[in-house]
Structure formats: C-alpha cells, structure tokens
Chain A
Amino acid sequence: MNLMADILLNVTVAFFVGSILLGLQRKVMARIQMRPGPPIIQHMLHTLKFFIKETVFPRTAAMPFYVAITIILCAIWVAAVIIGPVTHGPLLLLFAIFAIHKIVEHNAGSSSGSPYGKLSCVRAVFSAAAELPLFAVLIIVFIQTGTMDLNGIIAYQAEHGALLFTLPLTAMIFIVLIISKSYYYSPLNITLARDIVSGFETEHFGTLRGFIMISEAIAWYMLLWIFLTVFLGALTPIEYLIAMVILTAIVGLINAVTPILNPNHSVMTEVTLAFIGIVGSLLMIFFL
C-alpha cells in the first residue's frame, strides 16, 4: 500500500477508535457510579458537534499562536501515528512528542489570556516533572532489549516473550503515565482538572475545540497502542482492540474511584511511583 494511504488510514482508524474508547471510558465511569451514562459514541458526537460550531478569536488572544498551537497538537500526534503503526520507528521520538505535548498544553492555556488557561499553563510546567516516568521506561526498555527501535523491540519480544512479564514494574510506570494523560476526572491529570473548568482547552471553543478533541482521540489511541506494542509485542488488530478496551475500562475504573489530586500531590505521586518502578526494575534486571 502507498505510504500516504497507509498514514491516512491509520490516522482515521486512530481517530475513530480513540473517540469510541473515550466514550467507553465515560460509560464505565457512569456505570460504576450506578447511573446509565451517555452512549458510547457520545464523545465522537461531541467532537463533530463542536467541529461545526462557530469559533471566534478573542481580542486578547496571542495570534497566530492561538490557532497555530492547535495545528501543532494535531501535527505531533500524526507524527506519533507515523512513528508507531506506519513505520515502527525510533521510540526516543515519542519522548520528544510527549515533551511537545506538554508545551502545547502550556501554550494553549496561556495564549488566550484567560485566567483558567493561565492556571493550566502553570500546572503544565509543574507536571512536566512527571515526564520522568517516561524517560525511565525508555531507558529500562533499552537496557533490557538493547534497542530503541520499535521493530527491534517487537523482534526481541517474538524471541524472549512479552516484556510485560520481564519488566512488570516498568509497565506499571507506563500505566501511571496513561492515567495522567486520560481525560475524564483523572486523579493525576492536573492540566485538565475540573477545578479549572477545562484547563487549557477552556478558551478554545467551537471548531478549534473540535479540532483539539480530534487530536486528543488520536493521542489516546496512540498512547494505548505504544503501551501494547512495547510490552506485549506485535498483536493482530482484533487483539489490539480487545486489549485497548480492557485498558480503557481499567483507566475508567481508576478515574471513577479516585479523587482528583491537587497539583503538588499529583506530581509527587507520579514521581514516587516512578521511583519505585525504576528502582524495582533495575533490581529485577540485574539481580534476577
């Protein structure tokens, strides 16, 4: 298949599956709270609804950053799709993509001039300290497998078995990272916490909000895809789907039963869990 067609197909699949998974997360959370909850396609309906609503550019906004930052958000997650399902490229680039995602959270918040966005901007700076888990995951996977390339990691797992069983604590760190990036009432996601309305998305409304939601759906799919590929190896599409549904349900369960932590507690929780995971994984690699 043509490379461009491959990229377009994967981006479309990422958007649709990501939206349905986010809707599923809301459904799981609602059922735990003993209420029916919205239908599973609700997130996708919201995305499309916002996409066709009017957007205006506030007078106080920093143009063109206000619009450019939404374009950058989509571009980096399309880059993640290219590195992931399409080319199975270098994992270290994903670290760069997560870093730029933090920047997008920062700038989307501060570019509008609204106080809610400004709070989210400063929280994005705090929570960048919690990207420590990600680089620890990359380094530990590198120490264990000797390669930073997704192709190499898949080949290693085909030979030696899934990394989930040899590096369980590293997988735990990655799940903490996934929880910190989930959208609805996550205990560790302080930039999108409900006490600051919608955080950095608050003042992007209408089409721009729909655009951000599209990028977020792709981001959620890619997060889960990376976790599954790095820790379970290459799976068939049906296995990917089932595993993503299970992961989303687990994240929904955790989000439903935990409070939203305050920024300092959230960062310290992530750093503590990362520390336990790193030290434990290194001990397991060198002494087991």
Chain B
Amino acid sequence: MDQLKTVSWIIFIVSAAAILYALILNPASWIVYTISLVFIPLFILSLGLISMARGKKEDEEDKIKEPFIGY
C-alpha cells in the first residue's frame, strides 16, 4: 500500500501541475485538449487513491486473495 500511496501522490502532483499550466499559461488548444483528456481523469483517480480509507495491514493479504466473497 505504501507503493500505491507514493505513486498516487506523484500522479496527483503531476496532473495538478499540468492542469494549472493549462489554466494559467493558456497554450494552444490542441495542447489543452490533450492535457484535459489525460490529466483530468488521472487527477480525480489519484485524489481518490490518496483520500481513500485503509484497512488493517494483516487483513490486506486476505482481501487481495479473496475479494469476491466480501467482508
């Protein structure tokens, strides 16, 4: 899970930076379209992965192994 948190933070910072760049510097429209298509979803997803709750460490293995039976 630590790896997930690190990766999510990196993606969050990169996408926030790209969106701010497009907002402030106002580049050519095709650049804005590409940035919005790629980085708006990544921004929302990384925001979710950062803010999501975490379970206990010892349950983690069970959840990955048997997710379909639920808890």
Contact = CB atoms under 8 A, between A and B. Distances in A.
Interface in B22-46: 22-23, 26, 29, 32-33, 35-38, 40-42, 44-45
B41 A52 contact: no
A104 B57 CA distance: 32
A222 interface: no
A70 interface: yes
Interface of B: 19, 22-23, 26, 29, 32-33, 35-38, 40-42, 44-45, 48-49, 51-55, 60, 63-65, 67-68
B23 A79 contact: no
28 contacts: A3-B22, A3-B32, A4-B22, A4-B26, A4-B36, A7-B40, A51-B48, A52-B53, A53-B52, A54-B53, A55-B49, A55-B52, A56-B63, A56-B67, A58-B64, A59-B65, A74-B44, A75-B38, A75-B40, A78-B37, A78-B40, A82-B36, A114-B68, A205-B67, A206-B52, A210-B48, A211-B48, A214-B44
Given A4-B32, A7-B32, A51-B51, A78 B41 contact: yes
Contacts of B22: 3-4
- Majority secondary structure, B binding face: helix
B22 to A, nearest CB: 4
Which of B49, B52, B63, B65 neighbours the largest number of chain A CB atoms within 10 Å of its CB? B52
A114 B22 CA distance: 40
A72 B36 CA distance: 12
Contact of A70 (B36, B38, B45): B45
Contact of A53 (B41, B53, B68): B53
A207 B46 CA distance: 10
Given A54-B55, A70-B45, A75-B41, A8 B19 contact: yes
Contact of B23 (A2, A54, A207): A2
A71 B8 CA distance: 14
Which of A70, A72, A205, A207 neighbours the largest number of chain B CB atoms within 10 Å of its CB? A207
A71 B67 contact: no
A240 interface: no
A2 B26 contact: yes
B68 A78 contact: no
B68 to A, nearest CB: 6
A75 B60 contact: no
- Majority secondary structure, A binding face: helix
Contact of A5 (B23, B55, B63, B67): B23
A72 B42 CA distance: 10
Interface residues of A, number: 34
Given A4-B22, A8-B36, A59-B67, 18 more contacts: A3-B29, A4-B19, A4-B23, A4-B32, A5-B23, A7-B36, A8-B19, A8-B40, A52-B52, A56-B60, A58-B68, A59-B65, A74-B40, A75-B37, A75-B38, A75-B41, A78-B40, A82-B36
Interface string A93-115: 00000000000000000000010
A203 interface: yes
Nearest to A76: B37
B40 A11 contact: yes
Contacts of A55: 49, 52
Contacts of A56: 60, 63-64, 67
